[in-house]
Structure formats: structure tokens, C-alpha cells
Copies of this chain bind each other. A is one copy, B any other.
Amino acid sequence: MNFGGLISAAPVFDAIAWFDPIRIGSTSLLASASTADNAPFIFAGILASLVVIYLASTIGGEVCARLNLPPVLGQLIGGLVVGISALHLLVFPEGGGDSSNSLLMSFLEATAGLSVDGVTTTFQIDSEVISVLSEIGVVILLFEIGLESNLQELLRVGTQATIVAIVGVVTPFLFGTLGLITLFHISTVPAIFAGAALTATSIGITAKVLAELNYLNRSEGQIIIGAAVLDDVLGIIVLAVVASLAKTGEVELTNIIYLILSSVVFLVGAILIGRWLNPYFVQLVDALRTRGQLLIPALIFAFVLSYIATVIKLEAILGAFTAGLVLAETQKCRELKSQVVPIADILVPIFFVVVSAKTDIGVLNPAVPANREGLIMASFLIVVAILGKVVTGFTVFGQEKVNRLAIGVGMIPRGEVGLVFAGIGSATGVLPPALDAAIIVMVIVTTFIAPPLLQVVFQRSPEQNLPQPEAIASSPESR
């Protein structure tokens, strides 16, 4: 519906009736004129973005479910389709988009009468809001994964997970760095940078696939989750080392020690304090009488831990995962899980669609000559990235019936963490453009290859009785 004609014929009404009841406080309306004027457009843009995200994630997920592929792969592909790589419906300033190439903003201009003046502000604010919603989405995802995890089991497989994590960081880092130096004659610092980009597993994608395959609570699942969490911590430490190396040429030891110490103190401290707090949590929840009496205290706990994790330079998702892990031990866990399901249902798809909407797969096009050097290096990085993680499964000892291949494959997706390395590398000028593109290609391929691969290796597992993916996707257990 295009009411543009009607609307622009009435400028007075336009300026005044476009109000927003929430955004206007008790003092001057025009105190923040630029945003107040655009308030209804900003919210209309959010509504339209959410509709695009949900359509992309649902259609993508459903298609993959019918092809016996993990739905999360479909959500990622849905994100590619609506994002910077194809339809330009959902683009972000950080992903190379701007208001002029955002199809959604054009749609708002056409349908909602958004003015050319307002489009920049609206685009920027909407991008920020959707980015924050996607961050809340991954926080809720890891909170839910934490709730589904089993601390006892995680501690039982702790040694194996630690070895998997360390081997999975050291192997690709060493082979990647040395290979780039010897085979591609890259100089040391950029080679180390690219090697570092090969280290960290994307916990979000792996955990989601494991949940979809109903493997989260088995030994393999818990080893992978444990290793992925440690990987995340190790990745942050590696990033700190490499970044200071790139900038000053030497490693700032105090930072590294600080990071390691704060990680250990945080993870151990949160679990110990959390377990001690658990009975009080149950008492508190039982005493509350208003709506959300279980959910709100649980979210306060998760957000406080996420905040602390962010503040000590770890990641918010580590805090959320730990909160879930601790609350999984209370008697309220079952009820809490069932309440978190709908929240995750509406927030988690935002994360996966946004991550891939921001990823430009244009670097994969071999018809562009500039891409070719990068693609050759990318092939090498992909092989190292996959083999470097697959070997980790075979370091697992003392677990006879475990699917070793599945553990290794579970560590493959690099996801957003690898993109951070590429981003910092290109920002500091350390990485030559071809290598920068190669890292991005490696991240895309490992991220998209892992979900179907994981499904294949779990299906081959002889001693496991794997339910049909369709049944899982909509069954209550997988929630």
C-alpha cells in the first residue's frame, strides 16, 4: 500500500500526527528532534526487519528440514539471501551496507512515507537495534544451551574437552601459520594472524546443530560444548596476543595473564557461587507472586553474569552459558526450560539471520580476478581448518563408545569469531587483501559445511539410535 501521495499532500499533519506515544517524555518534544521525528519510521523499520528475518529463517529452516539438513543451516542461508550478498533487504553499516542500498529503507520510503532526510538516521538506529536484538538472541541461545547441559557430565568430560580445545587451537594455528609462510611466502606477522583466525570454534552454530540433532546431552555433545567454551576463552587470549604482536611487535604479558586469570576466576567463581545461591533462588521464586516470577529472576542472573563477562573482556555468551549451567541444577530447571523455549524461538533466529546477512559471499566469486589469489589461499586454509579440528576427536581417551569423528567435526565451524580476526586484520593493515578475503572464505565454508557434515557423521555412528530429523525439529524433546 502506498499512501505516499496522500501523505505528502498534507505536510502539516505529517509533521505532527507522526507521533510516538512512548518516545515522548514530559519535557520538550523536539529535544531530540532528529530521532523524535523519525520515531514511527524507526519502529516501522524494526517491524519490517523482523518480518524479513522471520520469513528468511522460517523458509530457510523449513527447506533444510525437508532436505534432512539441520534447520540452522537454512537460517544461515536465509540470512545470505536477504542480506548484503543478495536481496539487500537487511544490510548493516558494518557489513558494507548503507541506507542507499538498503531495500528495506526504500520500502519504508515507498510505503511509510519516510523522507530522504530521515532515512540515514532511521537506517542507523534500526541497524543498531537489530544488531542488539541478535546479540540478545545469541545470549538467550547460550543460556538455553547451558540449561540443557549437565554440569556433572561437563566436569566428567572436562579433561577430554580441555585436550580437544588445546589441540584444536594449536594444530590449525601451527599448520596454518607455517603453511602460509612456506607455501605462499606470506611474512611472519600476517601469517600468525591468519593462523590465529583458524583457532576459535563458533559455539553458537555447533551448539544449535547439536540441539537440533538431539546430541547435546550425550558425551560427544558435552565434550564439544565444553571444548567450544574453552575454545572461546582460548580464542580471546590468542586474539589479545596476536593483536598486541601486530601493533607493537611484542606480546604484553600482563594482559595475557590478566585474561587467563579472569577467565578462570569467572568460570569457577560463577559456578561455585551459583551452586551456593541455587537454594535461595528457588526460595525467592517460590515467594514471588507476580507474572514472570521464575523467568525474570533467571534472566536477571543470566544478564548479570553476561555483564560481568563483558566487563572483564570475556564474552557475554560465556556469562549466559554459565548462568544456564548453574540454573540447570535447580529443581526449577524443567519449568524454566519450557518458558525459555518461546523466547529462544523468537530471538535466536535473529542471530543466525543477522550473522549471515552481514557476510558478503561476493569474495567467493572466481569470475572476479581479484578474488582468485584469495580463493587459492582459502582452499589451503579450509583444509587446515577442517583437518586441524577433525584430529582433535582422536585425542579423546577413556571414552570407548564415543564418536571421535563427530567431536572433531563439531569443532569445525568458525562462524563469527573468525570474522573478528579478519576484521581486525584488515583494520590494522596487517593482512594483505587476498589473505583477508581468504580468511572470510574459510569462515563461510567451515560454517556452512559443519551442520550437514555433523549430521552425516552422527548418522554413521553405529551404537546410537538417531531419531529422524523431522521428528526432532518439532518434537518437544529438542526444545
Contacts and interface: CB of A to CB of B under 8 A. Distances in A.
Nearest to A55: B300
A132 B420 CA distance: 27
Contacts of A378: none
A289 B65 contact: yes
Interface in A200-253: 236, 239-240, 243-244, 247-248, 252
A297 interface: yes
Given A71-B291, A288-B58, A440-B26, A307 B17 contact: no
Contacts of A65: 289-290
A312 B20 CA distance: 14
A367 interface: no
Contacts of A25: 84, 92, 94-96, 358-360, 419, 423
Interface string A445-479: 00000000000000000000000001001100011
Interface in A310-367: 310-313, 315-316, 339-346, 349, 351, 354-355, 358-360, 363
Contacts of A22: 131, 134-135, 138, 351, 354-355, 416
Interface string A42-82: 11101110110011011001100110000100100000000
Contacts of A55: 300
A363 B359 CA distance: 50
A118 interface: no
A35 interface: yes
B29 A310 contact: no
Interface string A16-27: 111111111111
Given A21-B419, A47-B316, A423-B25, A291 B474 contact: yes
Contacts of A283: none
B290 A71 contact: yes
A217 B446 CA distance: 53
Residue of A31, A240, A360, A422 ringed by the most chain B CB atoms within 10 A? A31
A183 interface: no
Interface string A98-116: 0000000000000111000
Nearest to A33: B427
A58 B297 contact: yes
A306 interface: yes
A47 B184 CA distance: 44
Contact of A339 (B27, B306, B342): B342
Contact of A94 (B18, B24, B51, B349): B24
Given A28-B423, A420-B19, A111 B311 contact: yes
Given A12-B243, A311-B1, A313-B17, A94 B23 contact: yes
B111 A62 contact: no
A264 interface: no
A299 interface: yes
Nearest to A32: B93
A423 B94 contact: no
Contacts of A132: 42-43, 46, 129
A473 B290 contact: yes
A8 B175 CA distance: 35
A147 interface: no
B16 A247 contact: yes
Contact of A346 (B32, B35, B343, B424): B343
B19 A424 contact: yes
Contacts of A23: 94, 131, 135
Contacts of A9: 254
A27 to B, nearest CB: 4
By Cβ-Cβ distance, the 8 closest A-B pairs, closest first, are A25-B95, A292-B345, A29-B423, A29-B427, A16-B243, A21-B416, A25-B358, A27-B96
22 contacts: A3-B262, A3-B312, A13-B244, A16-B424, A22-B131, A25-B84, A25-B359, A25-B360, A26-B423, A27-B94, A27-B426, A32-B94, A44-B307, A44-B316, A47-B304, A47-B316, A54-B299, A58-B296, A290-B473, A291-B474, A291-B479, A343-B346
